[in-house]
Chains A and B, each alone.
Chain A
Amino acid sequence: MKGIRYGWILLIAVAFFTATICYPSISISADTIKIGVVGPRTGSAAATGTAFAEGIDLALDYINGKGGLLGKKVEVVFEDTGGVPEKGVAAVEKLVNRDKVPLVVGTSHSSVGIAISEQANRYKTPFIIAESWADEITSKNYKYIFRAGPCNTGVVSEIIKWLKAEGFKKASLVAENTDWGLGIKKLTVEALKEANIEFQTIDTERNSKDHYTELSKIMKYDPEIILAFVYGFGVHYFIAQANEVGLTPKAIIFEGAGPPSLWPQFWENVGDAGNLECFISSMHKSAQPNQVAKDYWDNYVKKFGKEPSDYKSRSIYRVLLIAFDAIEKANSLDGDKLVDALEKSNVTVPSGQVNFGTEKGSVWYHQFQPPMLIIQWQDRQQTVIFPENVATGKLIRE
């Protein structure tokens, strides 16, 4: 082929060769133990990435303050997933094959969690999920996959208990058209039928800023409560527009993802329409089940000069504590030994004592479900309204 500029190809080959050979790949035999974390640092859920970064800082302070693990300092390599499965897969590819991490923790999108689970299991690298709720992740019963965070089945069970306790009879169920939204919708529909609660279902687009079509259908139905399974800023618009059309405060909105109701932009976006909104969370100042939870809260305030608001900082802290404990107990970085240590884990984390299910055949295999709280905004203050044993107040209706 006359005219082909071989110089360029040679240059690419040399550059790529140099890049790949010279890139610092740090193995576990070095002076530090590296743990991989994956989470959305960019994209619509970047706030979760920020919360994760805070939790990682606190966890590293804790473990390195104790002298590290196996006599070595602990480091975290935090890779961005952008909330996109392919990016999550690429992140794990890097963590496992370039950074040589012995295990990976994190993630918050179910689609990303599902994609990474396949890959981590293939690479025989233990993966502890913090905040991907899809049941599919643990119901596949993969050996190397653990979840120390909510699963849809567990969350729906708590929501239904609350609906029954409050005596709600008629609900509208609005779910985003994603894996998480449709997954939790399916489970909620089954649970509502079983609880004899009348309901309608409506699918919506996660990033939609205009919810008037959905709201007009809900208004015709006239429910007592709207269960909104929408993650991201879309739910802020939904809450504001529901108030604008007069649906709330007559009907109560329950936001089923949690963090969007705690993001700094929440009040800015929803204004007074946010009052009396309910949401799910795994953390509240008044509900500190143990000393680890109190220490986490105090250390957070000391380090960041504010109280923790997004419970996902505590979620990543939780899974990192579990990972540290597994490495310590396994006294090894071998994947199989870590799995063994995780299955026997009884470490205390801010959500309680960890016990992963070990019986195959259901969603509870390798699953630890942290207790969930139902919180209501009352005059811009959070009030825990369920479960009763930790409640700081009662549900306020119009």
Chain B
Amino acid sequence: MLKSKYILGLFILAIFLSFPIYIGKYWLHVSIISLFYVMMASSWNLLAGYTGQVSFAHAAFAGIGAYVSGIIAIKLNIPPTIGLFIGAGIASLFGLGLGMLCIKMGGIYLSLTTLAFSEIIRLIITNEYELTRGTMGLEVPNLIGFYSKTIYFYIMIAVSIIFLLIIYKIIKSDLGTSFRAISNDELAANSLGINVIRVRIVAFVISSAMAGFAGALFGHYLLLITPDISSLSQMFLILAMTIIGGMGSFFGPIIGAFFLETLSEYIRIYGEYHVLIFGIVALIIARFAPSGLDGIYQEKISPKMAKS
């Protein structure tokens, strides 16, 4: 049984890896963008879905990572391959700071503080024109020295798999159990000897480092970074992907990222109405499947399959 699952897994991976052969440049681009959102939504899910810390600063961390990597590549000639890690490191430092600031906060207070942080970052990026070129956007160098969607696709797949493996290992470890314990009842977790402050900060640091790395990677793919990367609209998209896919589940954000990114490409033709359609789809799913698409599978499809 386990062997057949591995064979199936490898088969599915082979399908993904062969995308560049048959899906064309445009859908390869959509796949790359989807993989960026897989990283963003999964890392946000680690924080919000598993520890219950609903942060609105995740897109801001992606912006920090992207701008740090881009600026040091332009100003200091540091190769983007190194810049990615520096960007992620700086983002994680900001995550550490914000996590410590929010130690005593929970619920709406935590969300509002992170929302304010996110707006501060966006305003700084927009107004520090000399450094970031504001809304004009910062043109950044290519990660690999030349432009190839195929190579970027494989890089994005590799990084996504690494991120997902890290997240999977964390949620299956004692740390993951602590995450869920804090999410369920912080006081009870504390009384059981879990260092709540440490665990909460660790979650912030890990998720912000991942967001910073993903943001930097995304910027070097697009060759352009603008304040939009750290905007609230980006944040709400990540949030929607996680919630529609299934918050607090490992596969939810992956499903949500691919589903919403593909959907948004299909409804582009409706012009100004595509935002409306997007909202209606999100509302329907939120109303009739509050545990997301993954929840539908678990509650409706999986039991039937088990019976048959």
Count A-B contacts at CB 8 Å: 127
As a 0/1 sequence over residues 261 to 299 of chain B, the CB contacts with chain A under 8 angstroms (1 = contact) are 010011010011011000000000000000000100100
Is A21 within 8 A of B274, CB to CB?
no
In chain B between 10 and 39, which residues have their CB closer than 8 angstroms to a CB of chain A? 12, 15-16, 22-27, 29-31, 33
A25 within 8 A of B: yes
Give bound CA distance, A90 to B274, whole Å: 15
We find that the number of chain A residues with CB closer than 8 angstroms to chain B is 48
Is A177 within 8 A of B134, CB to CB?
yes
Is B271 within 8 A of A12, CB to CB?
no
Give bound CA distance, A94 to B266, whole Å: 11
Instruction: List the B side residues contacting A65 at CB < 8 Å.
Output: none
A25 touching B272 in the complex, CB below 8 Å, given contacts A13-B12, A179-B133:
no
Give bound CA distance, A8 to B245, whole Å: 11
Identify the stretch in A108-116, A218-226, A303-311, A367-375 within 8 Å (CB) of chain B at 4 or more residues.
Answer: A108-116
Is B129 within 8 A of A182, CB to CB?
yes
Is B133 within 8 A of A78, CB to CB?
no
Identify the stretch in A79-87, A271-279, A334-342 within 8 Å (CB) of chain B at 4 or more residues.
Answer: A79-87
Is B272 within 8 A of A49, CB to CB?
yes
In chain A between 27 and 57, which residues have their CB closer than 8 angstroms to a CB of chain B? 41-42, 46, 49
In chain A between 106 and 127, which residues have their CB closer than 8 angstroms to a CB of chain B? 110-111, 114-115, 118, 122
Is A85 within 8 A of B226, CB to CB?
yes
Give bound CA distance, A10 to B137, whole Å: 38
Question: Looking at the complex, which one of B137, B268, B271 makes contact with A85 (CB distance below 8 Å)?
Answer: B137
Question: Looking at the complex, which one of A10, A46, A87, A94 makes contact with B265 (CB distance below 8 Å)?
Answer: A94
How close is B12's CB to chain A, nearest CB, in angstroms? 5
Is A8 within 8 A of B251, CB to CB?
yes
Is A177 within 8 A of B224, CB to CB?
no
Determine the main DSSP class of B at the interface with A.
helix
Is B271 within 8 A of A80, CB to CB?
yes
Instruction: List the A side residues contacting B129 at CB < 8 Å.
Output: 177, 182
B119 within 8 A of A: no
Determine the main DSSP class of A at the interface with B.
helix
Instruction: List the A side residues contacting B229 at CB < 8 Å.
Output: 86
Q: How large is the interface on B (under 10, 10 to 19, 20 to 34, 35 or more residues)?
A: 35 or more
As a 0/1 sequence over residues 57 to 87 of chain A, the CB contacts with chain B under 8 angstroms (1 = contact) are 0000000000000000000001110001111
Is A89 within 8 A of B136, CB to CB?
no
Instruction: List the B side residues contacting A4 at CB < 8 Å.
Output: 5, 9, 251
Is A111 within 8 A of B135, CB to CB?
yes
Is A111 within 8 A of B137, CB to CB?
yes
Is A114 within 8 A of B137, CB to CB?
yes
A97 within 8 A of B: yes
Residue of chain A at shortest CB distance from B294: A8
Give bound CA distance, A13 to B24, whole Å: 16
Give bound CA distance, A118 to B142, whole Å: 13
B179 within 8 A of A: no
Is A41 within 8 A of B272, CB to CB?
yes
A6 touching B5 in the complex, CB below 8 Å, given contacts A41-B271, A111-B136, A179-B134:
yes
Instruction: List the A side residues contacting B262 at CB < 8 Å.
Output: 15-16, 19
Is A12 within 8 A of B222, CB to CB?
no
B2 within 8 A of A: yes
A201 within 8 A of B: no
Interface centre among A25, A87, A90 (most CB of B within 10 A): A90
Is A9 within 8 A of B222, CB to CB?
no
Is B224 within 8 A of A118, CB to CB?
yes
In chain B between 112 and 143, which residues have their CB closer than 8 angstroms to a CB of chain A? 126-127, 129, 133-137, 139
A2 within 8 A of B: yes
How close is A326's CB to chain B, nearest CB, in angstroms? 24
Question: Looking at the complex, which one of B29, B226, B254 makes contact with A93 (CB distance below 8 Å)?
Answer: B29
Instruction: List the A side residues contacting B135 at CB < 8 Å.
Output: 85, 111, 177-179
A177 touching B137 in the complex, CB below 8 Å, given contacts A6-B12, A8-B251:
no
6 pairs, CB–CB < 8 Å, chain A vs chain B: A5-B302, A9-B9, A9-B254, A10-B12, A93-B26, A111-B226
Q: Kindly list 13 other residue pairs between chains A and B, CB separation below 8 angstroms, not including A4-B9, A12-B255, A16-B258.
A: A5-B297, A10-B8, A20-B23, A41-B272, A49-B272, A85-B228, A87-B228, A97-B25, A97-B29, A118-B223, A178-B134, A179-B136, A182-B134
Q: Which residues of A contact B (CB under 8 A)?
A: 1-2, 4-10, 12-13, 15-17, 19-21, 23, 25, 41-42, 46, 49, 78-80, 84-87, 89-91, 93-94, 97-98, 110-111, 114-115, 118, 122, 134, 177-179, 182
